[in-house]
């Protein structure tokens, strides 16, 4: 198995895309820490993995709080003695991230930036400091095609996801001397439990819906489409890849 003996943290690893990532990492041999704001969701995912014979730990974490991010890393080290992989997947997305530009409140602006950008930065710092002492590691940010193609009613979300791509490059540059690779994934339209009827719900909030692209491959993506790419970037198969962003979108951005 590609990741046998490795220890991975997946923020937001108990829902949506995070579930697919957590499962793929476990299948590849990694011991997985599921970090979720609602600990009951993390526990359910960890139990599901353990029922398949995998090793998993559930922790309740607000990634935008430095003390909690630090505790996340400390608990991981206490449990398994090392940290090899961090997947920054947790984000404010879907309807909570939707607001017309002229109507977006300071509260919503702060919440999206705090989690999507600041939380990723904080978790990366805390994990990287451990990886430096270990002599290497892999950090993977989950961005979005929204970093490249504007989405109506999602100006703050788009800005934070674009910020993750710039952060990927800057981190890759500074952390390369320590053997830490930093890469990014930009998923397209991935069908998860919270966005099945997203377009209709957005229209109810005043979003026109006229700026919607077709997907050339003819289907919405699944969480299982993202997990294997995370495994690849975390493994030695990607040993010479850092600072890169891999788009996984069924062709959404090709036209």
Cβ 26 vs Cβ 49: under 8 Å: yes
Q: Domain ranges in the chain?
A: 7-248
pLDDT at 70: 98
| Residue written as token pair 């100006």 | 155
pLDDT at 204: 67
User: Hey, which residues are catalytic here?
Assistant: 157
Of the candidates 20, 111, 33, the residue with the CA atom closest to the CA atom of residue 72: 33
Q: For 209-223, write each residue's pLDDT tens digit.
A: 677 788 999 999 999
pLDDT at 202: 66
For helices 16-27 and 39-51, angle between their N-to-C axes, nearest 10 degrees: 30
Cβ 219 vs Cβ 248: under 8 Å: no
Homologous superfamily of 7-248:
NAD(P)-binding Rossmann-like Domain (3.40.50.720)
Binned at pLDDT 50, 70 and 90, residue 132 comes out as very high
Q: Rounded to the nearest 10 degrees, how much is the dihedral formed by the CA atoms of 155, 161, 162, 167?
A: 140
Confidence (pTM): 0.95
| Residue written as token pair 């095609």 | 145
Residue 50 CA to its chain's centroid (Å):
22
Token output for 33: 């820490």
The Cα 97–Cα 222 span in angstroms is: 20
């Amino acid at each position: 198995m590609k990741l046998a003996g490795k220890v991975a943290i997946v923020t937001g690893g108990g829902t949506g895309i995070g579930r697919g990532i957590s499962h793929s990492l476990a299948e590849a041999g990694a011991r997985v820490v599921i970090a979720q704001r609602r600990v009951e969701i993390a526990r359910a995912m960890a139990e599901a993995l353990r029922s398949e014979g995998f090793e998993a730990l559930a922790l309740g974490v607000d990634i935008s709080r430095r003390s909690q991010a630090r505790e996340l890393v400390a608990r991981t080290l206490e449990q398994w003695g090392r940290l090899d992989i961090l997947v920054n997947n947790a984000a404010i997305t879907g309807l909570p991230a939707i607001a017309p530009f002229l109507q977006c409140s300071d509260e919503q602006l702060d919440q999206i930036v705090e989690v999507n950008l600041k939380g990723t930065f904080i978790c990366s710092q805390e994990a990287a400091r451990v990886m430096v002492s270990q002599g290497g590691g892999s950090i993977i940010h989950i961005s979005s095609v929204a970093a490249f193609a504007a989405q109506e009613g999602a100006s703050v979300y788009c800005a934070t996801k674009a910020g993750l791509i710039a952060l990927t490059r800057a981190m890759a540059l500074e952390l390369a001397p320590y053997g830490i690779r930093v890469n990014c994934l930009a998923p397209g339209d991935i069908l998860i439990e919270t966005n099945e009827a997203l377009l209709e719900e957005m229209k109810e909030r005043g979003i026109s819906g006229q700026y919607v692209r077709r997907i050339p491959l003819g289907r919405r993506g699944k969480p299982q489409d993202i997990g294997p790419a995370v495994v690849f970037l975390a493994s030695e198969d990607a040993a010479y890849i850092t600072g890169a962003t891999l788009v996984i979108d069924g062709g959404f951005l090709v036209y």
